[in-house]
Amino acid sequence: MGLFERYLSVWVGLCIAAGVALGAALPQVFQAIAAVEYANVNLVVAVLIWVMIYPMMVNVDFASLKDVGKKPKGLCVTLVVNWLIKPFTMAALGILFFEHVFAGLVDPQTAREYIAGMILLGVAPCTAMVFVWSQLVRGDANYTLVQVSINDIIMVFAFAPIAAFLLGVTDITVPWETLLLSVILYVVIPLAAGYVTRKKLDRSNDHSRVAGFTDRIKPFSVMGLLATVVLLFGFQAQTILDKPLVIALIAVPLLIQSYGIFAVAYGWAYIWRIPFDTAAPAALIGTSNFFELAVAVAISLFGLNSGAALATVVGVLVEVPVMLSLVYFANRTRKMFPA
């Protein structure tokens, strides 16, 4: 891991503090940025999201899909957890905590927005940082690439229907046009751009030019993430200052979801006797989130200063330390799995 990835939680924390401070001191600046939008999409944040997502999409190698049948068990664990379990448990936890456990602490409208943000996190499986987690557990890099590539293809078609269904179940009205536009903007277009870039760079099929290119642009991806965090917390500054416990409230169900999903995936892989270099990445992919997409869609659907946008950004804050703890646990239990 590079300096940025290793201390991402620290940078996110500093950006949260900076965003809240700037938002409180210069609210007119953030109001002006919030006004730069088209079709419910803030153009400033959209550019930052593209900067974040594009380097990840260059890593997606569609040629790896030909190897999909070589280790079907690991892929089965990943896909079932990502698409049949995780979105629904996230929605259930959101409803449990914000409509019941925390009902007296949050007004109903804001609670629904928090639930919506959590749902968007649950429907977006990780496509980028998972390469880091896989490397840290010495996972099968090629197989991880297969899993990510298939998840991205499924996401193009499944993200919008599942998100709309779960948001509808929670009585949140979702404009389909905005949701589909978000998928096109933040999944289809970056994926296509990544594919074209990879094809041009990798004509000799030695992958070295692709690796060099992604290494050069990766810092921009992290800077885009951190700039987005500053903006989002700047927009939310007054709410956070008025209700400082809100971040902790959102973090509670997110933590339960993360550790619970990992337990399901990792336990299933253990029972199924999947080799560790496949089992660990499969469980980590199922646990982590494509929070960049969740943030972008939350902004498009509910607005920059909405509770949904705040919930997705809290997901960024929670994810890195949680995933590092799970990497540590996986490495400590390596010998329990077949080599």
Q: Are 163 and 120 in contact (CB under 8 A)?
A: yes
What are residue 38's phi and psi, to 5 degrees? -145, 130
Q: What local confidence, expressed as pLDDT, does residue 324 receive?
A: 83
Q: Are 10 and 221 in contact (CB under 8 A)?
A: no
Query: Which whole-number Å values give the CA distances from 24 to 78, 234, 264, 265, 303, in the listed order?
Result: 42, 7, 42, 42, 19
Q: Residue 100 corresponds to which tokens in the numbers above?
A: 């019941």
Burial class (CB in 10 A: 0-12, 13-18, 19+), 296: buried
The DSSP string of 110-151 is HHHHHHHHHHHHHT-B-SSHHHHHHHHTT--HHHHHHHHHHH
Residue whose tokens read 């939008």: 37
The bridge status of strand 41-42 relative to strand 37-38 is: antiparallel
pTM for the model stands at: 0.78
| pLDDT tens-place string over residues 269-319 | 999 999 999 999 999 988 888 877 788 788 878 887 788 988 988 887 788
Residue type (1 letter), 63: A
Residue 133 — pLDDT band, cuts 50, 70, 90? confident
Q: What local confidence, expressed as pLDDT, does residue 68 receive?
A: 64
| pLDDT tens-place string over residues 239-267 | 778 877 888 999 999 999 999 999 999 99
Task: With H, G, I as helix, E, B as strand and everything else as coil, classify residue 37.
Answer: strand
Q: What local confidence, expressed as pLDDT, does residue 136 receive?
A: 81
Give the separation between CA 303 and CA 150, rounded to whole angstroms: 30
Indicate whether 40 pLDDT > 70. Answer: no
Give the separation between CA 53 and CA 39, rounded to whole angstroms: 21
Range from 49-58, 84-93, 102-111 carrying the lowest mean pLDDT: 49-58
Give the separation between CA 325 and CA 309, rounded to whole angstroms: 25
Q: Are 218 and 51 in contact (CB under 8 A)?
A: no
In order of their start, the domains of the chain are 3-336 (1.20.1530.20)
Q: Residue 192 corresponds to which tokens in the numbers above?
A: 């296509």
Q: What local confidence, expressed as pLDDT, does residue 98 receive?
A: 94
